[in-house]
Amino acid sequence: MFGKKKKKQSQSDQALLSDALSDLLHDQQVKEKRKRRRMKLRWPEWLDKRVAIGLAIVICAVIGDAVRRENQEFYAVVTQTSGVVTISTRDVPQERAPQLNEKLPDYSNIKTGANSWAELSFPDESKIVLDANASMRIKLLEYHRGGKWRSRSIFLTSGRLLARITENFGKESELRIYSPGCVAAARGTRFSVTADASGEARTIVGDGVVEVKGFTGTRMFVRDRGDCTTRAGGNPSQPAYAPPQDLADFRSRAMTQIVRTDPWYKQAELTITQTLDAPLTILGIGKCSWAVGAADFARRASAQEALRKIHVNLEGAMTFPLWVNPATLKELSIQEEGGVENILKNFDGAAIESYWSDGKRFQIVARARDRHKTRYQLDAAGVHRSENQD
């Protein structure tokens, strides 16, 4: 009939058995695949989960302690004072007495009164002693994790300071003492710099070698017991032997204290973070990262932008000063919101490297704060990468 359905033909027992076996084989294959995937993610039989978790905790602790050590590189610690000593910081500009072991960041000012002095210490056991009636400013304390170098810049406004740089400082590291009269740069030595209001600066070397540069670019290497004087805008004098009484302070406890080599665990920790520099920087972990997500290319870009700001201020000028203090740029009369320090902070050492002018033309050279301290040049044509990267 029209509405009658045709009966479905029943399968034989053999066909039913074949289908069941096929389904069973398929299920078994799926289970085997899942098992193999789980085996890939499974801990090795010889490795207990608790051991693996313990190792992970230890590694995280080591990295955390290394980052803590790195963060200490960005401060000078007040370890001793005598008499009247005052400090001020960018966050707290009011002058006050420092506390023992207080950490001083960039842009901190330290002053001493009559018959007073202050000692600042650093993680590598280097020291700076500020003598009586002196004033200085911490410009920049830098530690580059990837390059494993330190860069410290101090501006001595007046008075005298003594510096001792230890072997733990690092071969690629450098301490620069800027003053109204010269720039003194050193590694692994003991030396002093004295500055006065007239713009004269005197550098005495207890041992080692110090490079003294005038603001016109001429440099002089001063060695053991050497005495060199520089005037603002002038060239360093030929070194003479320093009088014995001026060398006596290099025999003080701060200048002669025994310095131990960094312990193995500190060296190991800093080597680990140096190896992990890229991921730690991308994640913005630690002060070495400079800023969240910042990398070397960002530091180079900021240096170029800072030079462009200087260029904008100089455009249209008919004459240029014959010399410029690299740490202040005061002679260029730059008008910048927030001050010239907002420009200088983008350069290695928070200062330009050199300035040249014949009155009609000018040339400024500065290094970025990237791993390789990339050098850039500014002239009338604009900003470009310097051919000489040494």
Say whether both 229 and 95 belong to one domain.
Answer: yes
Say whether both 235 and 373 belong to one domain.
Answer: no
| Residue with more model confidence, 4 or 318 | 318
Residue 171: CB atoms within 10 A of its CB come to 9
Name the DSSP class of 283.
T
Say whether both 309 and 367 belong to one domain.
Answer: yes
Per-residue pLDDT, averaged over 363-370, amounts to 94
Q: What is the pLDDT of residue 40?
A: 59
Say whether both 233 and 104 belong to one domain.
Answer: yes
Q: Is residue 36 part of a domain?
A: no
Residue 238 has pLDDT above 70, yes or no: yes
Residue 6 has pLDDT above 90, yes or no: no
Per-residue pLDDT, averaged over 372-377, amounts to 94
Vertex 328: Cα angle to 327 and 332 (nearest 5): 125
Per DSSP, the three-state class of 228 is strand
Instruction: Report the helix count and the strand count for the chain, using DSSP H and E.
Output: 8, 20
Residue 17 has pLDDT above 80, yes or no: no
Say whether both 238 and 332 belong to one domain.
Answer: no
Q: Is residue 281 part of a domain?
A: no
Say whether both 197 and 325 belong to one domain.
Answer: no
> What distance in Å separates the CA atoms of residue 177 and residue 334, rounded to the nearest whole number?
23
Going by pLDDT thresholds of 50, 70 and 90, the confidence category of residue 2 is very low
Q: What is the pLDDT of residue 287?
A: 86
- Nearest alpha-carbon partner for 80 in 162, 138, 150, 146: 162
Residue 81 has pLDDT above 70, yes or no: yes
Per-residue pLDDT, averaged over 316-324, amounts to 93
Going by pLDDT thresholds of 50, 70 and 90, the confidence category of residue 290 is low
Name the DSSP class of 348.
G
Radius of gyration for the chain, computed over Cα atoms and rounded to the nearest angstrom: 32
Count of domains observed in the chain: 2
> What distance in Å separates the CA atoms of residue 124 and residue 137, rounded to the nearest whole number?
20
Q: What is the rounded average pLDDT for all residues in the chain?
A: 88
Query: Over the stretch 140-186, which tens digit does the pLDDT of each residue have?
Result: 999 988 878 899 999 999 999 999 999 999 888 999 999 999 999 99
Q: Is residue 90 part of a domain?
A: yes
> What distance in Å separates the CA atoms of residue 66 and residue 268, rounded to the nearest whole number?
9
Q: What is the pLDDT of residue 294?
A: 62
Which residue is it, tokens 């692994």? 188
Query: Over the stretch 195-237, which tens digit does the pLDDT of each residue have?
Result: 998 899 999 999 999 999 999 888 999 999 999 999 999 999 9
Which residue is it, tokens 């110090």? 210
Say whether both 257 and 303 belong to one domain.
Answer: no
Residue 292 has pLDDT above 60, yes or no: no
Say whether both 149 and 81 belong to one domain.
Answer: yes
Q: What is the pLDDT of residue 43?
A: 57
Query: Over the stretch 255-284, which tens digit does the pLDDT of each residue have?
Result: 988 888 888 888 888 888 888 888 888 888
Say whether both 233 and 343 belong to one domain.
Answer: no
Q: 201: part of which helix (H) or strand (E)? A: strand 200-207
CATH of the domain at 172: 2.60.120.1440
Which residue is it, tokens 């085997």? 32
Lowest mean pLDDT among 7-16, 19-28, 181-190: 7-16
Q: Domain residues for 300?
A: 295-385
Say whether both 221 and 77 belong to one domain.
Answer: yes
Per-residue pLDDT, averaged over 38-50, amounts to 61
Q: Is residue 27 part of a domain?
A: no
Question: What percent of the chain has pLDDT above 70?
Answer: 89
DSSP calls for 70-129: HHHTT-EEEEEEESSEEEE-SS--S-BPPPTT-EE-TT-EEEE-TT-EEEEE-TTS-EEE
Residues in the chain: 390
Q: 49: part of which helix (H) or strand (E)? A: helix 49-72
Two tokens, residue 310 = 């200087």
Pairing, β 183-186 against β 375-379:
unpaired
Per DSSP, the three-state class of 5 is coil
Say whether both 245 and 310 belong to one domain.
Answer: no
Per-residue pLDDT, averaged over 119-140, amounts to 96
- Nearest alpha-carbon partner for 357 in 311, 316, 319: 319
